[in-house]
Chains A and B, each alone.
Chain A
Amino acid sequence: MVSSLVLPVAIPMFTAAVLLLVPNLRVQRWVALVAAFALLGSAVSVALRVHAHGIQVLHAGSWRAPFGITLVADGLSAMLLVAVGIVSVAATAYAFAGLDPRRESAGYHPVLMVLLMGVSGAFLTGDLFNLYVWFEVMLVASFVLMALYRNKMQVRAAFIYVTLNLLASSILLTALGLLYGKAGTLNMADLSHRWSGGALPPFYGAMAALFFTAFGIKAALFPWFSWLPASYHTPPAAISAVFAGLLTKVGVYSMFRVFTLLFRGLPPVAPTFLLGVSLVTMVVGVTCALSQRDFRRVVSFNLVGHIGFTTMGLGLATPLGVSGSLLYVLHHILAITNLYLIGGLFLRMRRTSEFDRLGSLFRTHPLPSVLALLALFALAGVPPLSGAIAKIALVQAAFEARAYVAGSVALVTSLLGIWSIARLWDESFWKPAPPDADKAGPLWQQVVPIGGLTLLSLGLSVAAGPLLELTSTIARDLLEPGAYVNAVLEGG
């Protein structure tokens, strides 16, 4: 039953419609939670089918590729869909306690579902214009979530976010227009097939540069990352956690997809350039994190820094490098979502996330603090937590590819990352709190999703062997896209 490929898009879409008809907030929460579990279930079923039977293709309306819109699930899409399911369950569960009622009644639940629909669609589509449409669905939903019931700082942050992302969309659309003019098709498999013979169209490099810029802005790579730290720490945790976990990853995913399928004929300087950009992103992100004195801003800059690791493998362009980056994406989605939720938890307890007003959290709340400790040091990559395994794979790949500078920079950045996280730990958890600090307890509805994500993050370390095997298979398929092209053009 191939039609189940529609489910990860259809479930959130129908749930959003249903939620709009339900005025009661308690009912909305439960409906959203059930839908999130259904989304996770459908994603797992897609992943199992991909694992058992190979790449799954669905031609919408039975229009064969390249004429119709194709939905394709390969290993990469399936893996990321499962991550979308996990994040959506965590966010909807957290929203039971983590939102102010005014924002919730302004439509948080339906809009979140639209956002999830956009993310799933972007991961599944095999058509470039369709990818642009899913990007817009996702963006408009995220704009609304960011701007729902806001204060002055949030409106300004939302405006920066909106402007830069709209610019990225325009650039993407420009690239699509040029590409359609030269190739006459927007189906990624078809394009890959046409351009694999070595006959490259005019403006090939320019198109690659436009795609790189558009996805680079969405993924928050250097020098286009400024919108992210300016905006991600302002909305409440149930919103920013979803943004941090999923939105930047869609940019990274698109980069992987487009550059492994379409732009395989670029000169070797292109991956090296991407590698350079990734390294600068890492260094700048993590050094900026060191200069911040606010829990959520430190996490935001760490998010930027670690995006560099997720694109580094693509720059190395070796199977081990790509595999390490994919593992890093998976780890990063879980860890960063968790950290934003944790930030929200402590924000609720102390009413601020500035270091000057935090402190003694470990003494007053040992259990949430231990969860935070695990998530923080998983993000920083302290062995044996999940970040370390992906980082070791990446550094090993760099040294094997004789990119000694890249490997060393990654190592030094990891050290700086650990420093910035250790500083955060010291400032918020260990140092004595200022005497007039607010003291509210944690809510169990907030702690449960955080605990779940932490457990999954620990599970990544336990299952590191099989996972690395899985990501190596996906990486091989990405670098040799013949199977993907055949599945789309022949099958279905």
Chain B
Amino acid sequence: MELLLALAAGSLYAAGLYLMLRRRLAQLIIGLGLLTNGTNILIFTSGGLTRGIPPVVAPGAETLEPPFADPVPQALILTAIVIGFGVLAFALVLAHQVHRTSGSDDIGES
């Protein structure tokens, strides 16, 4: 499973960076979205994959017994998703502005 997720994250990074090197605005923004999603999968994977052991203190117990799933990476990803979403929305608006003022979605043209 780690390998699969690592490959997924790697492909998203590669595709995202490739698209960010293009001159079309739309592709650039899609690349940005892919890159943030690749990062999220990377955090998720590097936080350690577990199955069916939520970090919940069992009834009657005082402390959490390891092993349990680490909730921190999920909190980090949640924050990163929200930030990424906001920033992507802003980038879309800006791209729309560029398109409206310059009449083209090619950033190489001036």
Q: A residues near B, CB below 8 A? A: 129, 133, 136, 139-140, 143-144, 147, 150-152, 155-156, 158-160, 162-163, 166-167, 169-170, 173-174, 176-178, 180-182, 184
Assess whether B94 is in contact with A143, with CB atoms less than 8 Å apart: yes
Chain A residues within an 8 Å CB radius of B25? 159
Instruction: Determine whether the beta carbon of B28 is less than 8 Å from that of A163.
Output: yes
User: Would you call the interface of chain A mostly helix, strand, loop, or mixed?
Assistant: helix
CB under 8 Å from chain A, chain B span 69-83: 70, 72-73, 76, 79-80, 83
| B35 in contact with A180 (CB, 8 Å) | no
Chain B residue with the shortest CB-CB distance to A139: B87
The answer to whether residues A156 and B48 also contact, given A167-B20, A180-B73 and a CB cut-off of 8 A, is: no
A203 smallest CB distance to B (angstroms): 10
Q: A174, B32: Cβ atoms under 8 Å?
A: no
Q: Cβ of B110: which chain A residues have Cβ within 8 Å of it?
A: 156
For the complex, what is the distance from the CA of A170 to the CA of B36, rounded to whole Å? Answer: 6
A136 CB contacts on chain B under 8 angstroms: 83, 87
Verify if B95 is at the interface (C-beta below 8 Å from A): yes
The CA of A160 and the CA of B25, in the complex, are separated in Å by 11
Whole-angstrom CA separation of A173 from B44 in the bound complex: 12
B8 to chain A, nearest CB (A): 14
- Interface flags, B25-68, vs A, CB<8A=1, else 0: 10010001001100100110111100000000000000000000
Judge whether B14 is part of the interface by a CB distance below 8 angstroms.
no
Determine whether B15 belongs to the interface, using a CB cutoff of 8 Å to chain A.
no
Nearest-CB residue, chain A, relative to B16: A170
| Pairwise interchain contact A166-B94, C-beta atoms closer than 8 A | no
Write out the residue numbers on chain B whose beta carbons fall within 8 Å of the beta carbon of A166.
32, 87, 91
Would you mind naming 19 contact pairs between A and B with Cβ atoms under 8 Å apart? Answer: A143-B94, A150-B101, A152-B101, A155-B102, A158-B94, A159-B25, A159-B98, A163-B20, A166-B32, A166-B91, A167-B20, A169-B87, A170-B35, A173-B43, A177-B42, A181-B43, A181-B45, A181-B46, A184-B70
User: Which 8 residue pairs of A and B lie closest in terms of their CB atoms, listed nearest first?
Assistant: A181-B46, A177-B43, A152-B101, A177-B42, A173-B39, A170-B35, A136-B83, A155-B97
B94 close to A162 (CB less than 8 A): yes
Which B residues touch A177, using CB under 8 A?
39, 42-43, 46-47, 73, 76
Indicate whether A181 sits within 8 Å of B39 (C-beta atoms), given known contacts A147-B94, A152-B102: no
- Contact between chains at A180 and B107 (CB < 8 Å): no
Interface contact A159-B94, CB-CB below 8 Å: yes
Q: How far is the CA of A162 from the CA of B90 in the complex (A)?
A: 10
Least distance between B40 CB and chain A CB atoms (Å): 8
Query: B98, A170: Cβ atoms under 8 Å?
Result: no
Contact A133 B79 (CB under 8 A): yes
Q: Which residues of A contact B20 (CB under 8 A)?
A: 163, 167
CA distance A351 to B6 in the complex (A): 54
- Evaluate contact between B46 and A178: CB separation under 8 angstroms: yes
Q: Which residues of chain B are near A151, meaning CB under 8 Å?
A: 101
A217 to chain B, nearest CB (A): 13
Q: Interface size for chain B: under 10, 10 to 19, 20 to 34, or 35 or more residues?
A: 20 to 34
B76-A129 in contact (CB<8A): yes
B39 engages A156 (CB within 8 Å): no
Contact A180 B43 (CB under 8 A): yes
Inter-chain contact A143/B90, CB cutoff 8 Å: yes
Cβ A167 vs Cβ B35 within 8 A: yes
Residue of B nearest to A161 (CB): B94
Contact between chains at A156 and B102 (CB < 8 Å): yes
Asked whether, in the complex, the Cβ of B80 is within 8 Å of the Cβ of A180, the reply is: no
Evaluate contact between A180 and B101: CB separation under 8 angstroms. Answer: no
Q: In whole Å, how far is B77's beta carbon from the nearest beta carbon of chain A? A: 9
With A177-B46, A178-B46 in contact, do A156 and B72 touch (Cβ < 8 Å)? no
Closest residue on chain A to residue B45 by CB atoms:
A181
Measured in the bound complex, the distance between the Cα atoms of B109 and A351 in whole Å is 26
Chain A nearest CB from B29 CB (Å) reads: 9
A181, B47: Cβ atoms under 8 Å? yes
Q: Could you tell me the distance between the alpha carbons of A189 and B38 in the complex, rounded to whole angstroms?
A: 28
Chain A residues with CB below 8 A from B80, complex form:
173
Most chain A beta carbons < 10 A, residue from B20, B39, B42, B91: B39
Q: Decide if B98 touches A155 in the complex (CB within 8 Å).
A: yes
* A463 to B80 alpha-carbon distance, docked (Å): 44
Q: Give Cα A170–Cα B33 distance, bound, in whole angstroms.
A: 10
Nearest chain A residue, comparing its CB with the CB of B110: A156
| Bound Cα distance A162, B102 (Å) | 17
A197→B59 CA distance, assembly (Å): 39
**A143-B87, A166-B32 given; 10 more Cβ-contact pairs under 8 Å:** A133-B79, A156-B110, A162-B94, A170-B36, A174-B42, A177-B39, A177-B76, A178-B42, A181-B73, A184-B70
Q: Are A156 and B43 in contact (CB under 8 A)?
A: no
A10-B90 Cα distance, complex, nearest whole Å: 25
Residues of B within 8 A of A182 (CB): 46
Known: A129-B79, A155-B98, A173-B80. A140 touches B28 (CB 8 A): no
CA distance A150 to B98 in the complex (A): 10
Q: What chain B residues lie within 8 Å of A129 (beta carbons)?
A: 76, 79
When chains A and B are docked, how far (Å) is the Cα of A160 from the Cα of B28? 11
| Contact across chains for A156 and B98 when beta carbons are under 8 A apart | yes
State A158–B95 Cα separation when bound (angstroms).
10
Q: What residues on A are CB-neighbors of B107 within 8 Å? A: 156, 159-160
Q: CA A169 – CA B86 in complex, angstroms?
A: 13
